[in-house]
Amino acid sequence: MLQIAVTGKPNVGKSSFFNSATLSEVEVANYPFTTIDANAAIAYVTSPCPCGELEVTCNPRTGKCEEHIRYIPVELIDVAGLVPGAHEGKGLGNQFLDDLSQARALIHIIDASGSTDAEGNPCEAGSHDPLDDVNFLKGEVTMWVYSILERNWPRLIRKVMSEHLNFAKVIAEQLSGAGVFLDDVLEAERSITDTNYDKWEKDEILDFIEKILEHAKPIIIVANKIDTPTAYENIQRLQEKYDQVIPTSAESELALVNAQKAGLIKYQSGDDHFTIVDEAKLSDKQKAALMYIDENVLKKYGSTGIQETLNTAVYDVLNEIVVYPVEDEHKYSDQKGNILPDALLIPKGSNPRDLAYCIHTDIGEGFTHAIDARRNMRISSEQELKQSDIISIISNK
């Protein structure tokens, strides 16, 4: 399953984000390092389910479908302990970096209210500039990878040169434990102009690592605590400076999801509104909190931003698409009659053969052809699959 890390300085709202997205119960408190271990849980990205347009009732094997919106599972990892200088052992040191190694993308939460200082301690709202927090995650991760490469660089380069080995392959092997793959290194290699690797100085190695990481561990900037008065101006400045900044209020999402679970409101993650089920059941305090969220988050920003963050990470940053494999192309079902049982996330650009391998190696090896169930037509094994395709794979294994 696709893994995404939620990270950032202490106190910015990582646990709240993680809890609201996964509804698990990790401790939330207003002091640094409430979360000491990496927590992993299932969150969901959303996509319109073809069951609506096809007028069928689907039976998801994993996740769920509500009002023709399919909820597709991804694994979220709550990674704590990141402070500036962590790669030198500050805070909880390097421990968090190992947790990041499994992740394909990093959700970097920053406190847009400016009420958490550089080290992650609570401070007066507005007294810290969140723009100062954006770059350090990239810096820490870069230095982590550098520490892996640095100690072996001369030996690796000697090996590449004397044994005429492929540079990208050797580097990728060295970084496999950090979750860096050959594709990531090949992508970075394209921008290299100086191939005298044995003469590279620290800066050149660092530039190269940054390029690898852009591909291997893309970062999504999330500006949290938008419900606070000091956040608005900071978010505008962040959005002016960086291409993609997603405003969120993890605490509001948590409150809304809990109210929805308790049957007090009707609300779906990602909605721009909620409906109160029975006003008499709400205390004055609850009513006031819901009204505050409505005015200061939903009406102002369009949503709490949590679902948008997950969808942006998976669809826009990691470039995944959703495809529905079926066995019976007429009924859109598996052999047992379950309609649209699976919604798979696969990289954009995948073809039916890739999909077959994604389902199972045996199915990939026995692949003969594929059928586009919507059009009831055989398609080429090389044809690029599209978002929401329903595909039947024919395999002789």
Binding residues for ligand GTP (CB under 6 A): 10-16, 28-30, 32-35, 80, 224-225, 227-228, 249-252
Kindly give the pairing relationship between strand 64-66 and strand 69-78.
antiparallel
Instruction: Tell me how far apart the alpha carbons of residues 146 and 195 are, in angstroms, rounded to a whole number.
Output: 18
Residue closest to 250 by CA, chosen among 202, 308, 207: 308
Instruction: Kindly state the smallest distance separating residue 82's Cβ from ligand GTP, in Å.
Output: 8
Instruction: Kindly state the smallest distance separating residue 294's Cβ from ligand GTP, in Å.
Output: 15
Between 119 and 150, whose beta carbon lies closer to ligand GTP?
119
- C-alpha 91: how far from chain center: 24
Between 154 and 229, whose beta carbon lies closer to ligand GTP?
229
Kindly give the pairing relationship between strand 105-111 and strand 219-224.
parallel
Between 35 and 338, whose beta carbon lies closer to ligand GTP?
35
Instruction: Kindly state the smallest distance separating residue 318's Cβ from ligand GTP, in Å.
Output: 23
CA distances 101 to 55, 83, 98, 143, Å, are 42, 17, 5, 14
Between 80 and 206, whose beta carbon lies closer to ligand GTP?
80
Instruction: Kindly state the smallest distance separating residue 80's Cβ from ligand GTP, in Å.
Output: 4
- Residue 23 carries which DSSP code? -
Instruction: Tell me how far apart the alpha carbons of residues 149 and 65 are, in angstroms, rounded to a whole number.
Output: 45
Instruction: Kindly state the smallest distance separating residue 251's Cβ from ligand GTP, in Å.
Output: 3
Instruction: Kindly state the smallest distance separating residue 147's Cβ from ligand GTP, in Å.
Output: 23
Instruction: Kindly state the smallest distance separating residue 250's Cβ from ligand GTP, in Å.
Output: 4
Instruction: Tell me how far apart the alpha carbons of residues 277 and 256 are, in angstroms, rounded to a whole number.
Output: 13
Between 149 and 246, whose beta carbon lies closer to ligand GTP?
246
Instruction: Tell me how far apart the alpha carbons of residues 220 and 316 are, in angstroms, rounded to a whole number.
Output: 10
Alpha helices in 262-372 (DSSP H): 284-293, 299-301, 306-311, 352-359, 361-365
Between 121 and 381, whose beta carbon lies closer to ligand GTP?
121
Instruction: Kindly state the smallest distance separating residue 66's Cβ from ligand GTP, in Å.
Output: 24
Between 25 and 53, whose beta carbon lies closer to ligand GTP?
25
Between 11 and 142, whose beta carbon lies closer to ligand GTP?
11
Rg (alpha carbons) of the chain, rounded to whole number: 23
Residue closest to 249 by CA, chosen among 13, 7, 76: 13
Instruction: Tell me how far apart the alpha carbons of residues 216 and 17 are, in angstroms, rounded to a whole number.
Output: 23
- Residue 29 carries which DSSP code? -
Between 251 and 372, whose beta carbon lies closer to ligand GTP?
251
Q: Is 331 exposed, middle or buried (0-12, 13-18, 19+ CB in 10 A)?
A: middle
Instruction: Kindly state the smallest distance separating residue 246's Cβ from ligand GTP, in Å.
Output: 13
Q: Using an 8 Å Cβ cutoff, are 40 and 77 in contact?
A: yes
Instruction: Kindly state the smallest distance separating residue 215's Cβ from ligand GTP, in Å.
Output: 27
Q: Using an 8 Å Cβ cutoff, are 152 and 174 in contact?
A: yes
Residue closest to 196 by CA, chosen among 161, 170, 149: 161
Between 228 and 309, whose beta carbon lies closer to ligand GTP?
228
Residue nearest to ligand GTP (CB): 13
Instruction: Tell me how far apart the alpha carbons of residues 265 and 279 are, in angstroms, rounded to a whole number.
Output: 9
Instruction: Kindly state the smallest distance separating residue 21's Cβ from ligand GTP, in Å.
Output: 12
Between 119 and 328, whose beta carbon lies closer to ligand GTP?
119
Report the 10 Å Cβ neighbour count for 374.
16
